[in-house]
Amino acid sequence: MIDGSLVSARLLVFRVGTLAWAAEVDQVREILPRLPTTRIPGAPPVVAGLVNVRGTLVTVVEGWRALAPTETSQPRPPEDAGSTLILEVASGNGTKDGSGKKLVGFTVDEVIDMVAVGDTTLEDRGGLPGVDPTLVRAVGRRNRPGGAGGGAGGGGESGKDLFIVLDLAALLGPVLTT
Amino acid sequence: MSHTVLVCDDAIFMRTMITDILAQAGFEVVGEAETGTQAVEKYRQLKPDLVTMDIVMPDMGGIDAVREIVKQDPDAKILMCSAMGQQALVVEAIQAGAKDFVVKPFQPSRVLEAVQRVLG
Amino acid sequence: MDLSQYAELFLAESREHLSACNQLLLEWERNPAALQPVGGLFRAVHTIKGMAATMGYGRVADLAHRMENLLDQLRRGGKTPSDEIIQLLFRATDALEKSVTVAVAGRERDADLSVLEAIDDAALQFRPAAQPSGLARLRPEPAPAPADEPSSSAPQVSADATKSGPTRAVHVVIRPEAPLKGGRAMLVLKKAERFGAVHRLQPPSAAFESDDFDGRLEFELETSAAPSDIEQALRGAGDVERVVVGAAAIDEAVITTGEIPVTGAPNPAGGAGGGARSRHIRVDLRRLDTLMDLIGELVTERGRLNDLAARWIGRGGDPEIDDVAIQISRLSADLQNEIIQARMTPVWQVFDRFPRLVRDVGRQLGKQVSFRVEGKEIELDREILDELGDPLVHLLRNAVDHGIEPPAERKRLKKNPEGEIVLAAVRERSSVAISISDDGRGIDRAKILEKAKREGVVGPHVESLSDDQLLRVLARPGFSTAEAVTSVSGRGVGIDVAMTRIRALGGSIEIRTQAGKGTAFVLRLPVTLAIVRALIAAVGQERYALPLTYVAETVEYGTTPTTTMEGRDAIVLRDRVVPLVDLRKLLGTNGAAASPPPRRPVIVLEMGERRVGIVVDGMLSQQEIVVKGFDAPQGTLPVFSGATIMGDGVPALILDAAGLV
């Protein structure tokens, strides 16, 4: 069964490694170029560090380390390529402003598209090879622009690219809990 | 019969504006004065129902004019026209016998409210 | 009108006046023959009454009014009050404070007014003896009259022969948005005078001429006219937000002068005593935080502008851009400074409640204590000051309970039976030191050492405890040295709590104690949390900020004798061994950076008696940094107190001295 809260949501589709992923647009505060990060000693490698988003300090998670850690054979793009998504994620223990939400940065290799979820966009499909099933909320397909294959796509029906809708809280929550 | 008004201000622009506001509301502006001395003289001649009085005027200031007019006519109905920052002067004018005040820049509705309070 | 928006202001202003009441009562208690305190008390209570009435808090206003009655009787009687009366006034002040608090919380009905009866009884008792019998009661509101007094509620006769007649308390509030409120107030007064004489005008009419006049006035009007008539007439002055005409009350005040004499302004901000209105406004702390954040951004952008200007000129651009960049730098620095200043609050705002506290605890324990406060005007960041209250309360209670000996014991020791506790604030380099010292018995090191050994806190071979070790033992959670558990200080817990709180503020605690002579705790706190001067150190390719508050000195590694201490590298600095922490190793700065330079700087941090040398690769600059919090991810080393944004817009972490020492 498909995650009900996703019906009629709008999704931002982006690429990390060889796969396309998606997050609800409502959770994306903004899309920025890659920002210079400051390492946080002691934090796990998945944390790229701290960035300055117009005066607010935001912890950034390295997308490929979180989602594609096994693709080590793939050449990584240069450090300053790609984008940083500033995400708003629910945090278990409330934050200072009491909203229970935290800002966290997430680096992606490329922002691909924005899609509206329609009746046929999503399907419930777990067990993708090499993907942690607890991070998957659903799997969707989008029309390939002009029918040409992008870098993304898990194979499948012609003219359609596969993307994985991420469970951001499951992905980022454990990193942020202090 | 409409009320008669004496408008005292050293600036023509201000006198015109006050006159317009009052005339549109049905008052009859019977005289204008540019100085405090003129104001005192014209009050004696015209015996208006209402005086609008600027605070800062050449030769005799508005507050002194109020004192003089009230000396002649303790029931004189004088409305002070003041500006922001003239708090102490306004207080002094009221102690001298002015009945109310309006603050520049004038809003017609505020001026007419004050006039009603003075005449009412 | 929505009065709730004024509730916070009412609460804050009332508290200032209540604090003043406590100060004045303490003064009066020490010297009951003094005449000044009663005047100040009268005015403070009177002001609270007026504010409460304006807010519509009837019960609060009633309590204040009856206190005011009693105070007026005392003032006019000019007699030295008994101790019972002063204790009653303390209780009444407490009741007033509680009722103010519950009223603001919307539970005014819960106010405990049980003290009212005693106040009224005392007021009757202090009624000047020469008054004719059959005098109307002093209570303001109609209430069952005692049998020996006339049962008719009006007219009430003043005791003062010079004037008589019923008066009504009148509160007028001019619309906040009205221009020249003073002029409006004067018109109100003119209208009121048509009904009868005006007494007890507050503020005095001279205040109407000031631009600071806030549009609130109150007076008593000698008239028997109906409140509705009075209200209607006063509204005729225009721009009147609110008129409250009280029920008829006897005017027993100083009719001869007509105004409340102002005596002994109890606090420097002019909160309670001064006739002149304060020029201060209250600002939500969150606003200042936001301003601080914005300034941080501005400073960052300023850095970018400077870079751009340099490049632009390098490419043959107009050098005038440099002037602009410099001006902007200067302006933003000034702005930053102003905002920091806006957050600064004098310590008396917290200290002023302590004399009462020390007195109460002393009485409860049968100790005689004289309490002195020094450096009241020293300023600290508001946020730090707010956090400081509880630890200080704890340390002061401790001083009275465990420090000061009972009077008999002090006599036996040939000490003044009255012990002394001094609370002092002193500004140091970039911190403020607050000390709590007593001349009591001091801490028995031998006893503590014995207990510490028994509990395994120190090894059995330790022969004596230094002050520093002593504090560490005392600060262990649950470590109790109290012979008897008293209700005052509890079971020795608390020093640990106080210490944790102080350290969380980036501060430190030190203890000095001498058997038979006394104990002093010294708290050192940064002046502000928001902006600190810091040393920017380089470690590999990374930058870290070290607040200067705890930087004692810097030396060069390699030029100082080295040794080891408990297996750690250390340097010897003026015969003292200072352990070293290599920041490269501690922070795991990896080998991508060049190998460390041969002569590395050592930054010596000092907190109390403890010192540690931090070995870095280089020192880049010394500058003011804006302290910001960040969501530390899981695993982050516990040595950071926050982060800041450097001139180039890149964040740098701030090292926490308390975590390193």
In this structure, which amino acid lies at residue C548? L
In this structure, chain C runs to a length of 661
Q: In this predicted model, what pLDDT tens digit does every residue of C72-94 receive, in sequence order?
A: 888 877 778 888 889 999 999 99
| Domain enclosing residue A168, as ranges | 4-176
| pLDDT (mean) for C496-517 | 80
CA distance C270 to chain A (A): 34
Which one, of C82, C75, C67, C163, lies nearest residue C120 by Cα?
A: C67
Between residues C217 and C430, which one has the greater pLDDT?
C217
Nearest CA in chain C to B95: C186
Domain at C1-142, CATH from 3.30.360.10, 1.20.90.10, 1.20.120.160, 3.30.70.360: 1.20.120.160
Calculate the CA dihedral of residues B19, B20, B21, B23 and round it to 10 degrees.
Answer: 80
Q: Answer whether C242 touches A (CB < 8 Å).
A: no
Q: How many CB atoms lie within 10 A of CB B45?
A: 10
- Kindly list the residues from chain A whose CB atom is less than 8 angstroms away from the CB atom of residue C636: 40-43, 178
Q: Answer whether B103 touches C (CB < 8 Å).
A: yes
Give the range among C150-159, C176-185, C276-285 with minimum mean pLDDT: C150-159
E-state strands within C155-229: 167-174, 198-202, 216-222
Residue C187, φ and ψ in degrees, nearest 5: -65, -40
Candidate from A54, A55, A178 with C-beta closest to C636: A178
Q: Are C655 and C639 in contact (CB under 8 A)?
A: yes
CA distance A70 to chain C (A): 22
The enclosing domain of A18 has a CATH number of 2.40.50.180
CA dist., res. B25 & res. C414, Å (int): 90
Q: In this predicted model, what pLDDT tens digit does every residue of C545-592 receive, in sequence order?
A: 998 878 888 888 877 777 877 778 888 887 788 999 999 989 988 655
pLDDT at residue C282, rounded to an integer:
65
CA dist., res. C228 & res. C595, Å (int): 87
Nearest CA in chain C to A44: C635
Contact assignment for C645 to A57 by CB distance below 8 Å: yes
Burial string for A24-63 (b: 16+ CB within 10 Å, else e) reads beebbbeebebbebbbbbbbeebbbbbbbbebbbbbbbbb
Mutation to test the C interface, candidates B63, B70, B80, B90, most C Cβ within 10 Å? B90
- Which residues between 9 and 48 in chain B have a beta carbon less than 8 angstroms from any beta carbon of chain C? none
Instruction: Work out the angle at residue C323's Cα, subtended by the Cα atoms of residues C317 and C325, and round it to the nearest 5 degrees.
Output: 90
Nearest CA in chain B to C215: B87
CA distances in angstroms from C230 to C49, C157, C234, C396, listed in the order given? 20, 21, 6, 53
Give the range among C138-142, C236-240, C336-340 with minimum mean pLDDT: C138-142
Q: In this predicted model, what pLDDT tens digit does every residue of C363-387 receive, in sequence order?
A: 988 999 999 999 888 888 887 888 8
Q: Dihedral of CA C102/C105/C108/C110: which sign?
A: negative
- Indicate the pairing of strand C531-539 with strand C618-626: antiparallel
- Which residues between 171 and 210 in chain C have a beta carbon less than 8 angstroms from any beta carbon of chain B? 179-183, 186-187, 190, 205, 208-210
Candidate from B87, B114, B117 with C-beta closest to C182: B87
pLDDT value at C255 more than 70: no
In this structure, which amino acid lies at residue C554? T
pLDDT at residue A100, rounded to an integer:
61
- Which residues between 434 and 453 in chain C have a beta carbon less than 8 angstroms from any beta carbon of chain A? none
Angle at which helices B62-72 and B87-96 pack, to 10 degrees?
Answer: 10
Which residues in A have their CB inside 8 Å of a CB on C?
Answer: 36, 38-44, 47, 49-52, 54-59, 95-96, 102-104, 174-178
Contact assignment for C211 to B85 by CB distance below 8 Å: yes
Contact assignment for C211 to B87 by CB distance below 8 Å: yes
Residue A165 forms beta bridges with which residues? Answer: A22, A138
Q: Which other chains touch chain C, taking contact as 3+ CB pairs less than 8 Å apart? A: A, B
In this structure, which amino acid lies at residue C453? K
pLDDT at residue C411, rounded to an integer:
94
- Which residues between 541 and 600 in chain C have a beta carbon less than 8 angstroms from any beta carbon of chain A? 542, 586-589
pLDDT value at C192 more than 70: yes
CA dist., res. C582 & res. C326, Å (int): 38
- Kindly list the residues from chain C whose CB atom is less than 8 angstroms away from the CB atom of residue B86: 180
Tokens of C122: 């005392």
CA distance B118 to chain C (A): 9
Residue C318, φ and ψ in degrees, nearest 5: -70, 120
Contact assignment for A57 to C636 by CB distance below 8 Å: no
Contact assignment for A38 to C643 by CB distance below 8 Å: yes
CA dist., res. C27 & res. C37, Å (int): 7
Nearest CA in chain C to B104: C179
pLDDT value at C108 more than 80: yes
Distant-in-sequence, close-in-space partners of A148: CB < 8 Å, separation ≥ 6: none
Q: Answer whether C636 touches B (CB < 8 Å).
A: no
Q: Are A96 and C289 in contact (CB under 8 A)?
A: no
- Kindly list the residues from chain C whose CB atom is less than 8 angstroms away from the CB atom of residue A42: 588, 635-637
Mutation to test the C interface, candidates A40, A80, A102, A177, most C Cβ within 10 Å? A40
Mutation to test the C interface, candidates A35, A37, A50, most C Cβ within 10 Å? A50
In this structure, chain B runs to a length of 120
pLDDT value at A71 more than 50: yes
pLDDT value at C110 more than 50: yes
The CATH superfamily label for domain C531-660 reads CheA-289, Domain 4 (2.40.50.180)
Instruction: Work out the angle at residue C587's Cα, subtended by the Cα atoms of residues C581 and C593, and round it to the nearest 5 degrees.
Output: 105
- Kindly list the residues from chain B whose CB atom is less than 8 angstroms away from the CB atom of residue C212: none
- Sorted by where each begins, the domain ranges of chain C are 1-142, 155-262, 287-345, 347-526, 531-660
% of chain C beyond a pLDDT of 70: 82
Burial of B117 (0-12, 13-18, 19+ CB in 10 A): middle
First-to-final CA distance of chain B: 15
Candidate from C181, C187, C210 with C-beta closest to B94: C187
Q: Are B36 and B61 in contact (CB under 8 A)?
A: yes
- Kindly list the residues from chain B whose CB atom is less than 8 angstroms away from the CB atom of residue C237: 100, 117
DSSP category for residue C165: S
Nearest CA in chain C to B86: C180
pLDDT value at A72 more than 90: no
* Domains of chain B, earliest start first: 4-119 (3.40.50.2300)
Reported confidence tier of residue C628, pLDDT bands at 50, 70, 90: confident
Contact assignment for B90 to C236 by CB distance below 8 Å: no
**What CATH code would you report for C287-345?**
1.10.287
Q: Are C55 and C13 in contact (CB under 8 A)?
A: no
Helices in C56-163 by DSSP H: which ranges?
Answer: 58-77, 83-104, 116-125
pLDDT at residue A28, rounded to an integer:
92
pLDDT at residue C484, rounded to an integer:
37
Q: Are A123 and A140 in contact (CB under 8 A)?
A: yes
pLDDT value at C137 more than 70: no
Q: Answer whether B104 touches C (CB < 8 Å).
A: no
Which one, of C16, C115, C11, lies nearest residue C55 by Cα?
A: C11
Residue C494 forms beta bridges with which residues? Answer: none
pLDDT less than 50: residues of chain B = none
- Kindly list the residues from chain C whose CB atom is less than 8 angstroms away from the CB atom of residue A39: 542
Candidate from C293, C586, C634 with C-beta closest to A174: C634
Query: Under CATH, which architecture does the C155-262 domain have?
Result: 2-Layer Sandwich (3.30)
Q: What is the mean pLDDT of chain C?
A: 78
Contact assignment for C300 to A55 by CB distance below 8 Å: yes
* Total domain count, chain A: 1
Return the H-helix or E-strand segment holding C55: helix C36-55
- Indicate the pairing of strand B4-8 with strand B50-54: parallel
Reported confidence tier of residue C608, pLDDT bands at 50, 70, 90: low
Burial string for C207-229 (b: 16+ CB within 10 Å, else e) reads bbbbeebbbbbbbbbbbeeebee
Contact assignment for C186 to B82 by CB distance below 8 Å: no
Nearest CA in chain A to C637: A42
Which one, of C103, C252, C239, lies nearest residue C182 by Cα?
A: C239
Q: Answer whether B101 touches C (CB < 8 Å).
A: yes
Q: In this predicted model, what pLDDT tens digit does every residue of C475-498 receive, in sequence order?
A: 766 555 444 334 444 434 467 777
* 3-class DSSP assignment, residue B29: strand
Q: Answer whether C238 touches B (CB < 8 Å).
A: yes
CA distances in angstroms from C522 to A142, C440, C443, listed in the order given? 67, 16, 15
Between residues C536 and C428, which one has the greater pLDDT?
C536
C and A in touch (3+ CB pairs within 8 angstroms): yes
CA dist., res. C475 & res. C523, Å (int): 14
Q: Are C248 and C227 in contact (CB under 8 A)?
A: no
CA distance A165 to chain C (A): 24
Distant-in-sequence, close-in-space partners of C128: CB < 8 Å, separation ≥ 6: C73, C76, C77, C159
Tokens of C366: 């049968």
Q: Are B100 and B13 in contact (CB under 8 A)?
A: no
pLDDT value at C176 more than 90: no
| Cβ pairs A/C, distance under 8 A | 82
* 3-class DSSP assignment, residue C383: helix
Sheet holding A83-90, edge to edge: A28-33, A83-90, A101-108, A56-61, A47-53
Residue C426 forms beta bridges with which residues? Answer: C433
pLDDT value at C162 more than 80: no
pLDDT value at C464 more than 50: yes
Q: Above 0.95 for ipTM, yes or no? A: no
Q: Are C282 and C613 in contact (CB under 8 A)?
A: no
CA dist., res. A37 & res. A175, Å (int): 17
Q: Answer whether C630 touches A (CB < 8 Å).
A: yes
Contact assignment for C645 to A104 by CB distance below 8 Å: no
Q: Are A129 and A85 in contact (CB under 8 A)?
A: no
Candidate from A54, A103, A178 with C-beta closest to C634: A178
- Kindly list the residues from chain A whose CB atom is less than 8 angstroms away from the CB atom of residue C586: 41
| pLDDT (mean) for C299-316 | 79
Mutation to test the B interface, candidates C177, C180, C214, most B Cβ within 10 Å? C180
CATH 3.20.20.105 holds for C347-526: no
- Indicate the pairing of strand A110-116 with strand A136-143: unpaired
Nearest CA in chain B to C233: B117
